[in-house]
Amino acid sequence: MISIVIPVYNEEESLPLLYEKLSKVLERLGEDYEIIFVDDGSEDRSFEILRSFAEKDKRVKVVRFRRNYGQTAAIYAGFEIAKGDVIITMDADLQNDPEDIPLLLEKMKEGYDVVSGWRKDRKDPFWSRKLPSMIANWIIARVTGVKIHDYGCTLKAYRKDIAKRFRLYGDMHRFLPALAKRFGAKITEVPVRHHPRLYGRSKYGISRTVRVILDIFLVKFLNEYITKPLYAFGGVGFVLFSLGFLIGLYLSFLKFFGGKDIGGRPLLILSALLILSGIQLISTGVIAELIVRTYYESRGEKPYIVEETINVEE
């Protein structure tokens, strides 16, 4: 069985054509399938259109969020209810092409657990979209060790046992191949088509660059230090402590052997700050992230609230 997970946010104009194209492709495959639309708090007629699909086609499942929680939460919700042996994610704006789904499935037959789409000929503005994406992809590939060209492409295929392991918060959807590395997944990519946006406007801009950079550090931590955080914090802490200790040693030498007053020297304050502040400032953000995850996991809560579902089993 194949599950298609599609986050939707204000895509009323593209949905009818998307459903038509997607249905034709899936029918040709001759496999059992389901299409899961997750309405991420749309403010237009998207949910009404999705309801009409579900009423005439029981293979269409719809999840409606109470408000906009973001693409990561929408994909996570889709993964939670998906029943397919292979789960495919794609955008609702028609920039991903349903005709590329067979390419992903064929590649998975070679034994891969995650197959990522690569928008080799991307139809987006260069300066505001393509260039920042190229830089981000280069950094992510080298930091995480998972060398694929296009982390931002939503069109990806996952084996069920990998997708069901994800616990997604924040804006982590773009890092799913890197996160899958933790589970020993075999990861590859295939070139896919990319079409210019026909309707509406993009939900992303250059302003997300800072968030992406911060998330890169989080993914690096989750992949390599989640079970041994002392190695991450201890390395930084050791360097800062050593610098502070050496400065303190130098000041002590001046005090006891040079007879000089060190009480009013800025170096004394710097020594204390190096020993204390560095570790606190760096670790606070990551520790807070772990606290949030522990909160959700321990209470069995999700980072979203579902208002309504259609054709979804309880």
Write out the E strands in 56-197: 60-65, 86-89, 114-119, 156-159, 187-192
Indicate whether 90 belongs to any domain.
yes
What is the Cβ-side half-sphere exposure of residue 275, based on CA atoms within 13 angstroms? 13
Residue 217 belongs to domain spanning: 2-224
**Interacting residues of 30 by C-beta distance below 8 A, sequence separation 6+:** none
Percent of the chain topping pLDDT 70: 86
Nearest in space to 6 (alpha carbons), one of 52, 59, 75: 75
Q: What is the mean pLDDT of the chain?
A: 84
Indicate whether 304 belongs to any domain.
no
Q: Which of these three, 164, 194, 224, is where a domain ends? A: 224
In degrees to the nearest 10, what's the CA dihedral of 185, 116, 171, 196? 180
Taking each helix axis as running N to C, give the angle between helix 266-299 and helix 209-224, from 0 to 180 degrees, rounded to the nearest 10: 80
Residue 233's pLDDT band (cuts 50, 70, 90): low
pLDDT tens digit string along 176-193?
998 898 888 999 999 999
88 and 237 in a single domain? The answer is no
The total domain count for the chain is 2
145 and 248 in a single domain? The answer is no
In this prediction, residue 159 carries a pLDDT of 95
240 and 184 in a single domain? The answer is no
202 and 260 in a single domain? The answer is no
Distance CA 182, CA 72 (A): 18
234 and 214 in a single domain? The answer is no
Residue 258's pLDDT band (cuts 50, 70, 90): confident
* pLDDT above 80: residue 238: no
Q: Which of these three, 182, 209, 224, is where a domain ends? A: 224
208 and 235 in a single domain? The answer is no
Q: Give the CATH number for residue 151.
A: 3.90.550.10
107 and 43 in a single domain? The answer is yes
In this prediction, residue 39 carries a pLDDT of 96
pLDDT tens digit string along 189-230?
999 998 887 766 665 555 566 677 777 777 777 777 665 665
The lowest-confidence range among 54-68, 141-155, 233-247, 285-299 is: 285-299
Write out the E strands in the chain: 2-8, 33-39, 60-65, 86-89, 114-119, 156-159, 187-192, 306-310
Distance CA 287, CA 283 (A): 6
* pLDDT above 60: residue 231: no
Distance CA 15, CA 48 (A): 11
